[in-house]
C-alpha cells in the first residue's frame, strides 16, 4: 500500500494488444460506479455517458468490456498516473486518421509527448517507447520515420481524469475500497448464483465444515473444511494482508506515469479454512489460493465435481468463460470451488464459439444457383426520366380535394383548410391546394408533398409519410459496388437438409454524389467484403431474388452514421437485415433463426419489393 495522489484512467485492450484510454467523461462515469460499490450492481453502461458507446457494458467483476450486439469481450483495467502528467491536467494529444477524424494516443504516448511539449523541445522521437514516429511541434505533425508519411496532430484540453488520494493498492478487487464495502448494502440479489455464493460465505464465516463428500471420498481427506495447498513460499515471499491478498512494495517507474494497474487478473483469491480458527478480534482466518494457477484451480474444481457426481447429486452446469484474459477461466474454476463447497457438483464446459465463416470451399465446389441467372451483378444507378418536374411526377399519384377536412397536414402541421406552412424552396403550386393519395387515401397539402419529393431521391417515386405506402418504384442511394452469389456445399444450423447460398457484397470507399448526405466528401467502407448466408430452400431462393431487386434499386446499403461505431460518412446497412454469422448465433446475426426469412421478406416489402417486383425488373 502507498499513500499518494493520482489520476485514474480506465483503459481497454484492443486487438493489437494496446491499452486504449476511455475519455475523461467515461472514466469519471466508471469511477463513480466503482466508488458506489455493490449498490451500483457491478456493471457500467457506457452509453449512459457517451451515445457512441451504447452497445458496450463493463462488467467490474471480471474486468471485461462486453459488446452487446457482437458478444465481443475485451479486458479493461484501472490505471493510475501522476497528477502532474497529461491526464491530470486534462491534456489530450490526438492524431488525424484517414477519415479526417481525430484519435487519441495511448496514454503513455500522450504523457511522453506532453512532457516534451512542456520542456519546449522542438520535437520528440517516440522510438524509445516503441513507435517509429517523430512529433514535430513547430508544424504540429507526426512523421513516420520509415515511410516519411506525415499526419496532423493536435493538443486539446478536456476534463481532468478523476483523482484519488490515499492508499493505492497494486491490485484491487470489487468493491474498490473498504469505504465502498462499508456502504449501506442494497437488497441482496435473488438469482441462484448470488444465493449460492452468499450461502457459502455465510458458512465460511460461521466456521462450518468444508465441501460435502460421499463416504468413500472422505478417506485420506484433510481436516474438515481445509483445502490442501502447496507449501508456503520462502522467506522472500510477499506477506498477505487482512484479506488474504498478496501485497508487495510498489514498483518505481522513472516516468511521469505512476502505473498502478488494476487489471483483470486477480491478485489473490481466498476461501475460509477452519485450520485457522477465529482470533480474539472475531475474524475468520483465511488461506490464499494465489499460489494456485489457472490449470490447478480448474483441476481442483473438476476433481471435486467428479466425486460429487458419483454420489448421485443432480448436476449444475457452469459455463467456463472463454476470452482473451487469463482471469476468465480462473473465475470459472473459482465458481466451481464455491459451488462444490456448497455441496453442488460442477461441470465446467466451454461456451459455443463464434463461427462467422464456413469451412474452406474449393472453386470446384462453388456452384451457380438453379433458377437464378449469373453469379454476380454490379450496382446500376437508375434515375428518374428527364423532363419530368416534381409536380408532373406527383400528379399521377394524387387526386385534388376541393373541400379539405378540418384536420392537420402531417407534414407541415398546419390545418388543411389553411395554406401550407412549409417555408423552404417555392414549388410552382399554390400553398392552399390539397390532394389525396390515390391508394392509401391520406390527405396533404400538395405544396408539402412537392417539397418532400424535392428533398428526397427524386427518382419518380413517393412514399406516404403516414402509412409508408410506396407509389412508383422506390430507389436508394447505395454507392457503386458488386454483389456475388453462389452455392456452397455446407448446411446452416437449423437447415440440415439443404446447402447454403453465400452472398458477398463488395463496396469500395469513394466520393459522395449529389444524392448523398455530404456531396463531394469522401466516404469509408468498413468491413467489406461482407459475407452473408441464406439456406438453399425454396423460401431462401425467393429471398435471394428479392435481394437482387433491392441491390439493383440501390436499397441494400446507404451512406450515413454507423449505429455501432458512431463513424459518420460511412457505408451502413439500410434496414434490410442480413445473416453474417455462418455456424452460430452468438451475435443475433446467425442461425438457427426460424423467423428470419419471414422477417426479411417483410422488410423488403416495406421497401416496396415483393414477388411482383421481379416481374417489373424483367420488363
Q: For all residues of the chain together, what is the average pLDDT?
A: 74
Tell which wins on pLDDT, 306 or 508. Answer: 508
Residue 192 domain flag? no
Query: Rounded to an integer, what distance in angstroms lies between the CA atom of residue 240 and that of residue 291?
Result: 12
Residue 472 domain flag? no
Instruction: Return the SS3 of 530.
Output: strand
| Whether residue 109 sits in one domain with residue 73 | yes
Distance between start and end Cα atoms, the chain: 79
| Whether residue 490 sits in one domain with residue 432 | no
| Whether residue 399 sits in one domain with residue 340 | no
Instruction: Return the SS3 of 558.
Output: strand
| Whether residue 416 sits in one domain with residue 314 | no
Number of folded domains that form the chain = 4
CB 453 within 8 A of CB 462: yes
Residue 561 domain flag? yes
Condensed to tens digits (0 to 9), the pLDDT of residues 361-395 reads 899 999 999 989 888 988 765 544 444 788 888 88
Q: For residue 505, what is the domain's CATH number?
A: 3.30.390.130
**Cell numbers at 55, concatenated:** 452497445
pLDDT band at 66 (very low <50, low <70, confident <90, very high): confident
CB 171 within 8 A of CB 327: no
Written as one string, the DSSP assignment of 105-136 is: PPHHHHHHHHHHHHTT-SEEEGGGGT--EEEE
Per-residue pLDDT at 123 exceeds 80: yes
| Whether residue 491 sits in one domain with residue 563 | yes
**Cell numbers at 340, concatenated:** 462444490
Query: Rounded to an integer, what distance in angstroms lies between the CA atom of residue 107 and that of residue 21?
Result: 6
| Whether residue 566 sits in one domain with residue 452 | no
Residue 146 domain flag? yes
Domain boundary residue, one of 399, 426, 458: 458
Residue 102 domain flag? yes
Domain boundary residue, one of 116, 149, 165: 165
Question: Nearest CA to 113 among 89, 78, 79, 146?
Answer: 89
CA 612, distance to chain mean position in Å, is: 39
Instruction: Return the SS3 of 535.
Output: strand
Written as one string, the DSSP assignment of 447-499 is: HHHHHHHHTTT-SS-EE-TTT--EES-----PPS-EEEEEEES--BTTBTTS-
What is the pLDDT, as a whole number, of residue 183?
A: 39
Range among 171-185, 298-312, 467-481 rated most confident: 467-481
Residues in a beta bridge with 491? none
Burial of 366 (0-12, 13-18, 19+ CB in 10 A): middle
Least-confidence region, from 61-75, 104-118, 143-157, 528-542: 61-75
Residue 251 domain flag? no
Written as one string, the DSSP assignment of 213-226 is: --GGGSTTPPSTT-
Per-residue pLDDT at 531 exceeds 70: yes
CA distances, 374 to each of 37, 545, 553 (Å): 61, 12, 18
Question: pTM of this prediction?
Answer: 0.48
Residue showing cell 508519411? 149
Tell which wins on pLDDT, 5 or 76. Answer: 76
Q: For residue 420, what is the domain's CATH number?
A: 3.30.40.10
CA distances, 363 to each of 80, 180, 367, 505 (Å): 54, 61, 9, 18
Query: Rounded to an integer, what distance in angstroms lies between the CA atom of residue 114 and that of residue 135?
Result: 11
**Cell numbers at 573, concatenated:** 446497412
| Whether residue 573 sits in one domain with residue 533 | yes
Per-residue pLDDT at 488 exceeds 90: yes
Q: What percent of the chain is predicted at pLDDT more than 70?
A: 65
By residue range, what is the domain housing residue 342? 296-349
φ and ψ at residue 146, rounded to 5 degrees: -90, -45
What is the pLDDT, as a whole number, of residue 515?
A: 87
Residue 563 domain flag? yes
Residue showing cell 506515469? 257
Query: Rounded to an integer, what distance in angstroms lies between the CA atom of residue 524 and that of residue 457?
Result: 21
| Whether residue 140 sits in one domain with residue 67 | yes
What is the pLDDT, as a whole number, of residue 287?
A: 39
Condensed to tens digits (0 to 9), the pLDDT of residues 198-207 reads 454 454 445 4
Condensed to tens digits (0 to 9), the pLDDT of residues 183-222 reads 344 444 444 444 444 454 454 445 443 433 333 333 444 4
| Whether residue 132 sits in one domain with residue 27 | yes
Query: Reduced to 3 DSSP states, what percent helix, strand and coil does the chain have, rounded to the nearest 5?
Result: 25, 20, 55
| Whether residue 542 sits in one domain with residue 410 | no
Q: Residue 56: CB partners within 8 Å, gap ≥ 6?
A: 46, 47, 65, 66, 67, 68
Residue showing cell 494529444? 93
Residue showing cell 449498490? 39
**Cell numbers at 472, concatenated:** 412508383
| Whether residue 543 sits in one domain with residue 423 | no
Work out whether the CA dihedral 198, 200, 203, 205 comes out positive or negative.
negative
Per-residue pLDDT at 269 exceeds 50: no
Residues in a beta bridge with 378? 482
| Whether residue 58 sits in one domain with residue 26 | yes
Per-residue pLDDT at 324 exceeds 50: no
Residue 241 domain flag? no
Question: Nearest CA to 244 among 171, 320, 162, 194?
Answer: 171
Query: Rounded to an integer, what distance in angstroms lies between the CA atom of residue 428 and that of residue 391?
Result: 8
Q: For residue 146, what is the domain's CATH number?
A: 3.30.720.50
Condensed to tens digits (0 to 9), the pLDDT of residues 141-166 reads 999 887 788 899 999 998 899 988 76
Amino acid at each position: 500500500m502507498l499513500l499518494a495522489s493520482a489520476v485514474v484512467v480506465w483503459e481497454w485492450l484492443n486487438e493489437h494488444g494496446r491499452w486504449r484510454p476511455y475519455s475523461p467523461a467515461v472514466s469519471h462515469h466508471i469511477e463513480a460506479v466503482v466508488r458506489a460499490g455493490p449498490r451500483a450492481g457491478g456493471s457500467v453502461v457506457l452509453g449512459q455517458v457517451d451515445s457512441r458507446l451504447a452497445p458496450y457494458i463493463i462488467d467490474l467483476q471480471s474486468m471485461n468490456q462486453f459488446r452487446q450486439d457482437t458478444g465481443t469481450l475485451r479486458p479493461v483495467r484501472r490505471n493510475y498516473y501522476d497528477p502532474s502528467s497529461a491526464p491530470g491536467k486534462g491534456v489530450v494529444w490526438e492524431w488525424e486518421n484517414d477519415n479526417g477524424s481525430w484519435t487519441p494516443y495511448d496514454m503513455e504516448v500522450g504523457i511522453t509527448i506532453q512532457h516534451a511539449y512542456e520542456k519546449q523541445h522542438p520535437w520528440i522521437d517516440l522510438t524509445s517507447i516503441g513507435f517509429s514516429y517523430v512529433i514535430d511541434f513547430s508544424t504540429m505533425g507526426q512523421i513516420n520515420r520509415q515511410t516519411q508519411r506525415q499526419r496532423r496532430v493536435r493538443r486539446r484540453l478536456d476534463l481532468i481524469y478523476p483523482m484519488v488520494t490515499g492508499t493505492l493498492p497494486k491490485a484491487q478487487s470489487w468493491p474498490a475500497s473498504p469505504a465502498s464495502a462499508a456502504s449501506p448494502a442494497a437488497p441482496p440479489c435473488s438469482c441462484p448464483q448470488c444465493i449460492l455464493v452468499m450461502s457459502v460465505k455465510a458458512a465460511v464465516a460461521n466456521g462450518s465444515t468444508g465441501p460435502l463428500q460421499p463416504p468413500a471420498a472422505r478417506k485420506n481427506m484433510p481436516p474438515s473444511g481445509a483445502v490442501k495447498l502447496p507449501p508456503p513460499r520462502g522467506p522472500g515471499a510477499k506477506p498477505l494482508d487482512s484479506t488474504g491478498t498478496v501485497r508487495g512494495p510498489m514498483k518505481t517507474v522513472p516516468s511521469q506515469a505512476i502505473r498502478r494497474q488494476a487489471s483483470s487478473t486477480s491478485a489473490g483469491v481466498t476461501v475460509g479454512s477452519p485450520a485457522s480458527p477465529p482470533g480474539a478480534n472475531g475474524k475468520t482466518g483465511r488461506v490464499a489460493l494465489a499460489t494456485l494457477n489457472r490449470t490447478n484451480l480448474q483441476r481442483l474444481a473438476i476433481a471435486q465435481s467428479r466425486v460429487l457426481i458419483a454420489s448421485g447429486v443432480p448436476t449444475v452446469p457452469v459455463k467456463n468463460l472463454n476470452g482473451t484474459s487469463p482471469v476468465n477461466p480462473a473465475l470459472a474454476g473459482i465458481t466451481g470451488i464455491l459451488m462444490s463447497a456448497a455441496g453442488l457438483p460442477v461441470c465446467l464446459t466451454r461456451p459455443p464459439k463464434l463461427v462467422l465463416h464456413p469451412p474452406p470451399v474449393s472453386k470446384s465446389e462453388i456452384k451457380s444457383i438453379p433458377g437464378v441467372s449469373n453469379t454476380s451483378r454490379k450496382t446500376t444507378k437508375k434515375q428518374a426520366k428527364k423532363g419530368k418536374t416534381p409536380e408532373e411526377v406527383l400528379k399521377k399519384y394524387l387526386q385534388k380535394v376541393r373541400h379539405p377536412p378540418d384536420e392537420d397536414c402531417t407534414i407541415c402541421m398546419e390545418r388543411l383548410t389553411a395554406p401550407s406552412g412549409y417555408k423552404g424552396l417555392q414549388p410552382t403550386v399554390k400553398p392552399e391546394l390539397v390532394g389525396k393519395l390515390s391508394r392509401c387515401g391520406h390527405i396533404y397539402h400538395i405544396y408539402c408533398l412537392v417539397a418532400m419529393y424535392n428533398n428526397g431521391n427524386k427518382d419518380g417515386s413517393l412514399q406516404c409519410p403516414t402509412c409508408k405506402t410506396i407509389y412508383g418504384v422506390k430507389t436508394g442511394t447505395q454507392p457503386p459496388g458488386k454483389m456475388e452469389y453462389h452455392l456452397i456445399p455446407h448446411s446452416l444450423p437449423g437447415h440440415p437438409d439443404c446447402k447454403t447460398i453465400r452472398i458477398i457484397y463488395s463496396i469500395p470507399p469513394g466520393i459522395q454524389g449529389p444524392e448523398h448526405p455530404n456531396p463531394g466528401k469522401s466516404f469509408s467502407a468498413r468491413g467489406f467484403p461482407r459475407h452473408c448466408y441464406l439456406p438453399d430452400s425454396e423460401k431462401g431462393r425467393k429471398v435471394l431474388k428479392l435481394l437482387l431487386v433491392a441491390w439493383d434499386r440501390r436499397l441494400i446499403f446507404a451512406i450515413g452514421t454507423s449505429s455501432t461505431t458512431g463513424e459518420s460518412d460511412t457505408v451502413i446497412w439500410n434496414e434490410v437485415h442480413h445473416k453474417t454469422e455462418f455456424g452460430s448465433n452468438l451475435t443475433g446475426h446467425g442461425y438457427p433463426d426460424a423467423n428470419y426469412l419471414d422477417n426479411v421478406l417483410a422488410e423488403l416489402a416495406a421497401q416496396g419489393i415483393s414477388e411482383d417486383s421481379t416481374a417489373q425488373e424483367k420488363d
